[in-house]
Structure 1
Amino acid sequence: MPKVFLKTYGCQMNERDSEQVARMLVERGYEMTPRETEADVVLLNTCSVRDMAEQKAIGKMGLLGRLRANKPEMVFGFLGCMAQSRGAELAENMGHVDLVVGTQKFHRVAEYVDQLIQHKRALRDRLMDDARFSIVDIEEEAGSQETIREHVLKERQATAFVSIMQGCNMHCTFCIVPSTRGAERSRRIEEIVHEVEGLVARGVKEVTLLGQIVNLFGRHEFDKRDGKSPFVQLLEAVHAVDGLRRLRFTSPHPIGFREDLVNAFAELPKLMPHVHLPMQSGSNRILKAMHRAYTAERYFALTEQLRAARPDIAITTDAIVGFPGETDEDYAATRELVQRIGFDNAFIFRYSPRRDTPAAEMGEQIPEAVKEERNQDLLRVIDESAIAKGEVLVGRNVEILCEGPSRTNKETLTGRTPGNKIVIFEGGERHIGEIFEVAITRSSGFSLYGDPAVLDGATAMTVG
C-alpha cells in the first residue's frame, strides 16, 4: 500500500482542496502519512499569493528530492496555485518532479498518481533506466467547482470547510488569484445544502463556507429573490439545516456587503458574530490603484453597519503596507483607519510583487526597509487593539466549540468563541466536539485561557 505525504501551504481553500485529494487517494488504496521519510508519494499543495509561500514550497520540494536516492520509484508533485501559475517549468526546472496539477484538476490527482506509479513499476520490471515521464495538467475544466465536495473527518471532528465556489473576477492589481483560480463559478445551492446535511449527520456542528470572494457567490448564475442576493439565499438555506449549530464564511469583499447581508447577522442566530473583512489600505488613492472599488469612508461605514446589526460582532481584516507609490501620508491614513475601527485582529502583509499582475509593473516600488518599518508599526497598532478586545472577556463566561488538542501544547485543548477567538483550557476527551461555556481567566491578546469548571454548574454572563 503506497504511502502519501501531503503538505498544504496557504489558505483554507487550499486545505479544503487537499482534503478532497486525500479522500480520493485513500479511496484508491493509498495511505496518508505525516512523515515524509515514509512516503512513496510526496505532494505539495501550493500558494501563490506571496512570493515567500512559493519559495517555501520550492525549497521544500528541493529538500524532499533527496529521498529518491533510496526510493527511485517515488512520485513527487506540485498541486494548486503555484502549479497553475508556473506549469511545466516546475517539472523542467526540478528534475525529480513528476506531477504538476492546477487548481481545476484536483479531482484528477489520484488518477495521475496511479499512472505515474504504474509507469515507474513498468520501467523497473523491464530493468530499464527511468525515462523522463511527467504529467502536467493546468487546463480549465467546466464544472470543476462541483468536484470539491467530499470530506475526511477525524473522530469527534465538529467543524468543516465547505467550498461553495471557485475563481475571482475582481482583478485587484496586486493579486494573482484570478489567473491561478480562474473566473468566478458557483455551485448549486441544493448541492451545498446536501453536503452540509451529510456533514451534520456525521457529527459536524459548525461549517465555514469558502470562496475567493465568498459573498459574491452565484451573482452570475442565480437571480435575487425578495431582494436577497444568492449568497444570502444560501446562508438562509444552510442555516435551516437541522442539527447545524454554527455557520461562518470567508473571505468576503466589502463591495459584496449589501443591506441583506448586513441584516443576516441580526436575523440568523446560527451565523456567528465574526466577519473577516479585508481592508488592504486606508488611503483612497492606494485603494483606487489596487482596484478595490470602495473608499476608506465606505469601508468604515460598513463596519459601523455591521456593529449596529450585531453589537457583539468581531471584525478582523487584511492590510497591505508598501504598495507601489504608497507615501508616508498614505500609510498614515491606513494607520488612522485601523486605529479608528479597532479590529479584533488582523493579518498585515508587506506588498509582494507577483508576476503577471499590474502592480508588479508599477513605478515607485517601495524599498523593503520601508515596508518592514510600516509592517512592524501597524502590527503594534493591531496588537494594542487585540489585547484590549481580549481583556474585555477576562472574568466572563464564553461559549466555545472545542476543536481538540492545542497545536502548541497537546496537553491542553482549544476551542473558538462565536467571535472566532481562540480559547485554550485543560480538559478531557469528553470536551472534544462539544459546545459549552468556559470562564475566561486571562488573555494573551491573541489567545484566551479558560477554566471549564463552569460545566459543573457555575453561572455568569455569557459573551462571545
Structure 2
Amino acid sequence: MKKKAAIITYGCQMNVNESAKIKRILQDMGYDITEDVSESDAVFLNTCTVREGAATQIYGKLGELKHIKEKRGMIIGVTGCFAQEQGEELAKKVKAIDIVMGNQNIGKIPQAIEKIESGDFKYVIYVGDEDELPPRLDADFDSKKTSYSTITYGCNNFCTYCIVPYVRGRERSVPMDQLLDEIKGFVEKGSKEIILLGQNVNSYGKDFENKDNFAKLLEEICKIEGEFIVRFMSPHPRDFTDELIEVIAKNDKIARSMHLPIQAGSSRVLGLMNRGYKKEEYIALAEKIKRSIPGSSITTDVIVGFPGETEEDFLDTIDVAKRVKFENAYMFMYSPRKGTKAAEMDGQIDQKTKKERLHRLIEVQNAISKEQSVSYIGSIQRVLAEGPSRKNPDVMCARTSTNKVVLFKGDPELEGEFINLKITDANTWTLYGDIVE
C-alpha cells in the first residue's frame, strides 16, 4: 500500500506556493496526498508567524497530530516562517515533531524523511541558508488555470511591527531569465493567470548589478505568447515608480488591480512604523495610478491601534479611506509581535479601543466598497471564468481584471476561459452579470 501525506497551510500566498512544491516533492517520493490527517503517514504544517495568534493555532494542531501519532505513527514536519523562527527549540518543546525546516530548505524534505526513517535521528533541523536563494522547485497547483511564481525572497524594509525580515532573511531577487522560462512553461501548460509573489515584489532587482527591475520583468512577461493575465502581490508604495505605472498602463495583460498596503493613514504613525512615506504621498500615488491606468482599482491593508495611535491619527486613516476609495481593505487590530520594535514601544493601545476603531473603519470601508461595486453596473467586463461557485454550484464564478468576483449563469466548460460579462447587479463584495458576445 502506498504511503499517504497531508499538507496543512497557514498564512500568505507565498506559503500556498511553497505548499504546492512540498506536495510535488512528496508525490515524487511515492506518497499519495490526502486531506485526512488521521490516515497520513507524514504530515507537514507549513506555518506563518506574522501574527502572535498564529502560534496558538499551530500548537493546537500539533497537539491533535500528537494523539494520532501515538495511535498509528506518522512523521510530523513543520516548515515555514514559524519553523524558521523557532528552530530546534520547537522540536524540544513539542516532542512529537520529527522535522523542523525553514523556508529555504524544503528541497531537503527527502533527506530529512530518510534520516527519520533510519531511526538514527531523534529529530532533523534545517533552518540555515536564509540569505540564499532556494532552488527552483517544480509544483502542481490546485488550480488548472492559475500558477504562482515567487520572484523575490526576504525583505529589507524592517517595518517595526513585522517579524518577516528576521525569519525570511534579506531580500534576494530571482534572475529574470529563470523567471521568464518558468512563466513561459506555465503558459504552455495552459495557465491563464500568473501571480507573481514576494514580500515586496516591486523592489525586484534592487540587489542586481544590471538594470533588471520589476517594470522590466513585467514588460518581458507580457511579450510571452498566449492569452493570460498577470497579477502581483504585494507591492510597497515607496517602490511604485512612474516607470512601473507606465508599463502597467500600456500592457493589457497586466491586471488592473493594485494591492497597495497603506497600514495607517497618519504620517506620524507611518513614521513609527518605518513605512517610508507620508499620508499625502500615498494619496498622491493612488491618484496618479487611477489617473494613469484607467479602470484600475486599489485595495489595501490597514492596521488600527498601533502603539501611540491617537484618535486624531485614527481619523487620518478614515480620511485616506474616504479620499482614495479603496475597493476593498484587509483591516486588522495591531497585535504585538515578540522580537519587533513595535512590541517594545510605549503607548500600547488597549483591546477595547482597538476593537472600537476597527469596527468604525470596517463600517466606513464597507460603505465605500458597496459604492465601488455598484459603479460596475451596466459595464462590460472581460473576466476569467474560475468554475462553479463554492456556495452555489449551479452558478459560475469569474474574476475581473480589477479582482472583483462576478457570478453568472454559464456552462462549466467555460472554466479557465476569458469571456465578456455585462454587469447587471452588485452587492458589497460581489458582482452579477450575463454573458455577452
TM-score bracket for this pair, using the shorter chain length: over 0.9
| Counterpart check, 1:139 vs 2:128 | yes
Query: For residues 221-232 of structure 1, what are the structure 2 equivalents within 5 Å?
Result: 221-224=208-211, 230-232=213-215
Q: What is residue 114 of structure 1 aligned with on the other side?
A: 114
Q: Residue 242 and residue 141 in structure 1: after superposition, are their counterparts in 2 closer, same or farther (change >3 A)? A: same
Q: Per-residue CA shift, 1:256-297, capped at 9, x if unaligned?
A: 011101112211121111110000111111000000010001
Compute the displacement of 1:382 (Å): 1.2
| Counterpart check, 1:360 vs 2:343 | yes
Q: Per-residue CA shift, 1:45-79, capped at 9, x if unaligned?
A: 1111112223222212212221113212x011211
Q: What is residue 174 of structure 1 aligned with on the other side?
A: 161
Distance (whole Å) between structure 1 residues aligned to residue 62 and residue 356 of structure 2: 32
Q: Which of 350, 355, 360 pairs up with 1:372?
A: 355
Secondary structure at the aligned position of 1:104 is classed as: helix
Q: Per-residue CA shift, 1:175-214, capped at 9, x if unaligned?
A: 0000111000011101100001100110011201111000
Query: For residues 228-267 of structure 1, what are the structure 2 equivalents within 5 Å?
Result: 230-267=213-250
**Contact 1:105/1:144, CA 8 A, preserved across alignment:** no
**Contact 1:21/1:110, CA 8 A, preserved across alignment:** no
Q: Per-residue CA shift, 1:26-53, capped at 9, x if unaligned?
A: 1111111112222111111111111222
**Contact 2:187/2:226, CA 8 A, preserved across alignment:** yes
Secondary structure at the aligned position of 2:72 is classed as: coil
Q: Per-residue CA shift, 1:394-429, capped at 9, x if unaligned?
A: 343322111223333444332210001112234333
The AA in structure 2 aligned to 1:44 is: L
Q: Per-residue CA shift, 1:142-169, capped at 9, x if unaligned?
A: 6434x24422045x71111111110000
- Structure 1 runs not aligned, ≥5 long: 123-131, 458-464
The AA in structure 1 aligned to 2:5 is: V
Compute the displacement of 1:110 (Å): 3.4
Tell which deviates more after alignment, 356-365 or 406-415: 406-415
Distance (whole Å) between structure 1 residues aligned to residue 78 and residue 394 of structure 2: 34
The AA in structure 1 aligned to 2:110 is: A
Compute the displacement of 1:111 (Å): 2.9
Tell which deviates more after alignment, 397-406 or 338-347: 397-406
Tell which deviates more after alignment, 89-98 or 299-308: 89-98
Q: Which of 246, 249, 272 pairs up with 1:289?
A: 272
Q: Which of 398, 405, 413 pairs up with 2:381?
A: 398
The AA in structure 2 aligned to 1:190 is: D
**Contact 1:321/1:375, CA 8 A, preserved across alignment:** yes
The AA in structure 2 aligned to 1:57 is: I
Secondary structure at the aligned position of 2:386 is classed as: strand
- Structure 2 runs not aligned, ≥5 long: none
Compute the displacement of 1:301 (Å): 0.3
Q: Which of 357, 362, 368 pairs up with 1:385?
A: 368
Q: Residue 110 and residue 370 in structure 1: after superposition, are their counterparts in 2 closer, same or farther (change >3 A)? A: farther
Distance (whole Å) between structure 2 residues aligned to residue 318 and residue 157 of structure 1: 29
For these two proteins, the number of residue pairs brought into alignment is 436
Q: What is residue 139 of structure 2 aligned with on the other side?
A: 151
Q: What is residue 77 of structure 2 aligned with on the other side?
A: 77
The AA in structure 1 aligned to 2:202 is: N
Secondary structure at the aligned position of 2:104 is classed as: coil
Distance (whole Å) between structure 2 residues aligned to residue 317 and residue 141 of structure 1: 28
Distance (whole Å) between structure 1 residues aligned to residue 37 and residue 195 of structure 2: 30
Distance (whole Å) between structure 1 residues aligned to residue 389 and residue 81 of structure 2: 29
**Contact 1:42/1:77, CA 8 A, preserved across alignment:** yes
Distance (whole Å) between structure 1 residues aligned to residue 299 and residue 422 of structure 2: 23
Q: Residue 300 and residue 402 in structure 1: after superposition, are their counterparts in 2 closer, same or farther (change >3 A)? A: same
The AA in structure 1 aligned to 2:385 is: C
| Counterpart check, 1:213 vs 2:200 | yes
Distance (whole Å) between structure 1 residues aligned to residue 250 and residue 209 of structure 2: 22
Q: Which of 296, 301, 319 pairs up with 2:284?
A: 301
**Contact 1:20/1:148, CA 8 A, preserved across alignment:** no
Q: Per-residue CA shift, 1:317-361, capped at 9, x if unaligned?
A: 001001001011111111111111100001001111111100001
The AA in structure 2 aligned to 1:45 is: N
Distance (whole Å) between structure 1 residues aligned to residue 390 and residue 243 of structure 2: 37
Q: Residue 404 and residue 143 in structure 1: after superposition, are their counterparts in 2 closer, same or farther (change >3 A)? A: farther
Distance (whole Å) between structure 1 residues aligned to residue 47 and residue 62 of structure 2: 11
The AA in structure 2 aligned to 1:138 is: V
Secondary structure at the aligned position of 1:326 is classed as: coil
Q: What is residue 64 of structure 2 aligned with on the other side?
A: 63
Tell which deviates more after alignment, 435-444 or 258-267: 435-444
Q: What is residue 24 of structure 1 aligned with on the other side?
A: 25
TM-score, normalised relative to structure 2 = 0.96
Tell which deviates more after alignment, 50-59 or 365-374: 50-59
Secondary structure at the aligned position of 2:219 is classed as: helix
Distance (whole Å) between structure 1 residues aligned to residue 164 and residue 9 of structure 2: 17
Q: What is residue 300 of structure 2 aligned with on the other side?
A: 317
**Contact 2:131/2:170, CA 8 A, preserved across alignment:** no
Compute the displacement of 1:230 (Å): 1.0
Tell which deviates more after alignment, 431-440 or 161-170: 431-440
Distance (whole Å) between structure 2 residues aligned to residue 157 and residue 80 of structure 1: 25
Distance (whole Å) between structure 1 residues aligned to residue 411 and residue 41 of structure 2: 36
TM-score, normalised relative to structure 1 = 0.90
Secondary structure at the aligned position of 2:122 is classed as: coil
| Counterpart check, 1:422 vs 2:422 | no
Compute the displacement of 1:393 (Å): 1.6
Query: For residues 31-42 of structure 1, what are the structure 2 equivalents within 5 Å?
Result: 31-42=32-43
Compute the displacement of 1:243 (Å): 0.7
- What is the identity percentage for the equivalent residue pairs of Structure 1 and Structure 2? 38
**Aligned residues: CA RMSD:** 1.7
Distance (whole Å) between structure 2 residues aligned to residue 32 and residue 118 of structure 1: 22
